[in-house]
Structure 1
Amino acid sequence: MDGDSAGRTRRRGGVWGTVGVFTVVASLAAGTLGALQPATGIPQEVVQLTQFGPALAVGALALYQRRRTGELLRGAAGAGAGPRPLGGAVLLGAAGLIVVLCVLGSYAVCGQAPFTPPGSLHQSFALIVVAQLVGACGEEVGWRCFLQPLLRTRLGTLAASVTVGVLWGVWHVQVFAQAPAYAAAFLVATVAMSVVLGIALDGLGGWRRLLYAGGFHALVNLGLLLFLDEESGAVPPMLCFGLSCLLVAVLAVTLRGGRRARERAVAPAAATLHGT
């Protein structure tokens, strides 16, 4: 094996080793924070402290990979070569579409869609909104701002997104104590949402990536809190959620394919015009 091949092999091994360390630390940190939450007095309705496990994993990796971690978070590494990132409004609209599809699916399957008025919650809804955004950013700084760009240095957009989605879903280990259909639908949802986020944010870095990803995540969580009782362990609501996310992911992949086809069609014409 020549020097270049050995170097590439070491870099690939380094990436997957970092993925493994991140996942283990994020899981251990989330478990510890979940065990400590009752002692803090912070209601889970407001925010679940487990959400900050991925952020702690990024902090731990930054202790011995400071430069690389900084590059990934800034977007200086793992930038995609595909179409330009979608706007934040489009991504937040995708979150709203998932919630709307969940409601429609619940009506179709159950004949009703439970609605929890914000005023009936035990805590101020404004406080919940802010806390949900902070908690979502605590997750997304790990999944979408660190791990996704890291894997993007070795994989394509879809492959990296699916990988992050699987790890993200498995990280919610408590879900797998439910019925197999419930756990499978949840895993479909995390993979599908990861694909939507991966396509929308590919090539985007810095605070905008975190804010868009956190905003998408928080809107989905708030929508589920108000319109779906998926945490009860009942299978139908989770199936509605998983299928809704899958439909939006298919739409995102289709739109991405159309954009790439248009860009490929325009490129030769632009090159000819420039040459003349």
Structure 2
Amino acid sequence: MPTRAIPLFLAMIFLITWGVIGFYVLGPELASRWFGPISGSHPLFFLATWAPAIAAILLVLSHAGTAGLGRFLSRLLLWRAPSGWAVFVVIGVPLVFMAGSVIKGGPALAPLPPEGAGPMVAVMLMMLFLGPIEELGWRGVLQPLLQRHMAPVWAGALIGAIWGLWHLPAFYLAGTVFGAWNFLPFFIGNVVLAVLVTPLLNRAGGSLLWPMFFHWQLINPFWPDAQPWDTWILAGVAIVVIWWNHDRMFTREGAVTEVIPLRPHAALQKTR
């Protein structure tokens, strides 16, 4: 896939997401009358959230057909990652939320609803099909294309800024979690998270599985609300990660630049 696909990718994701959410923001009564009130489980909210994945799939199909799409999706099979990164995603991310919540005087885990853990498990599973699907676009297409021309740290920061701006209309949308949040800390958090996930993507050889799992951990309903402390803690972690991996973060050596592998990845392929 050529680098010139970037403007088309960005145009598609903003057109879909800002078009859907903008309709509900600018014409809430008409939008609700036509499609029903918007919420985090509304089909149009899924469509808006899936915009990066939709754009990625359409671009891959246009450049490499169904065979190329199969090779692109084979990056989901790259499950090997350095052990330190695996521990951070599985254990470290929940600990960040727990620590941030405790610092602000909250609980270590999100309180269960009166119905018990069942509804939270259902939401957790639903979340698998929201935010993590975005990674097909952010880390699947945009990151490799940008890393052909800039060091990973700058590619990650740029994606984080785009990622944050892409969410902006949702902050004017009643009925979703974004409506109760402050945009600036969220925007900063997006930049931090995009930089933080960059070495994970590269060290896992372009894996889409690990960035998706990382994204899922960020929206897991069992982890407590830790804003803004989760952002500040993760910013500190990102600084450490950048320093520890400065040889890879500030040069393009070892950076993933391949969107569509020449052949499907085997599930047991070794980490780069």
TM interval, short-chain normalised: 0.5 to 0.7
Q: Percent identity?
A: 19
Kept in 2, the 8 Å contact 1:182–1:239? The answer is no
Deviations 1:115-134 (A, max 9, x none): 23166479633332322123
SS at match of 2:106: coil
Q: TM-score, normalised by structure 1?
A: 0.65
1:218 corresponds, among 216, 219, 239, to: 216
Report 1:128-207 matches (<5 A): 128-174=123-169, 177=172, 182-202=182-202, 204=204
Q: Secondary structure at the match of 1:140?
A: helix
Equivalent of 1:111, from 105, 114, 124? 105
Say whether the 8 Å CA contact 2:143–2:159 is kept in structure 1: yes
Kept after mapping to 1: 8 A contact 2:82/2:203: no
Pick the aligned partner of 1:126 from 121, 124, 130.
121
Paired residues for 1:1-276 under 5 Å = 15=3, 17-31=4-18, 39=35, 44=40, 48-49=45-46, 50-66=48-64, 73=72, 86-87=81-82, 90-91=85-86, 93-94=88-89, 96-108=91-103, 110-113=104-107, 115-117=110-112, 120=115, 124-174=119-169, 177=172, 182-202=182-202, 204=204, 209-222=207-220, 226-228=223-225, 237-257=226-246
Aligned AA (1:202): N
* Contact 1:137 1:210 (C-alpha < 8 Å) held by counterparts: no
* Partner Cα separation in structure 1 for residue 239 and residue 130 of structure 2: 27
Q: Which runs of 5+ in 1 are unaligned?
A: 1-10, 77-84, 229-236, 261-276
Counterpart secondary structure, 2:219: helix
Cα gap change, 1:254 to 1:93, in 2 (>3 Å): same
Q: Secondary structure at the match of 2:220?
A: helix
The structural deviation recorded for 1:190 is 0.9
Structure with larger RCO (C-alpha < 8 A, sep 6+): 2
The Cα of 1:189 is off from its aligned counterpart by 1.0
Change (3 A) 1:97 1:175: farther
Q: Give the AA of the match of 1:154.
A: H
RMSD: 4.1
1:227 partner letter: P
- The number of residue pairs the alignment matches comes to 226
Output the TM-score relative to the length of structure 2. Answer: 0.66
In structure 2, relative to structure 1, the CA distance for the partners of 1:156 and 1:217 (3 Å cut) is same
| 1:41–1:205 distance in 2 versus 1, CA, 3 Å | farther
Give distance in 2, aligned partners of 1:212 and 1:163. Answer: 20
CA distance in 1, matches of 2:247, 2:37: 49
**Change beyond 3 A, Cα 1:63–1:201:** closer
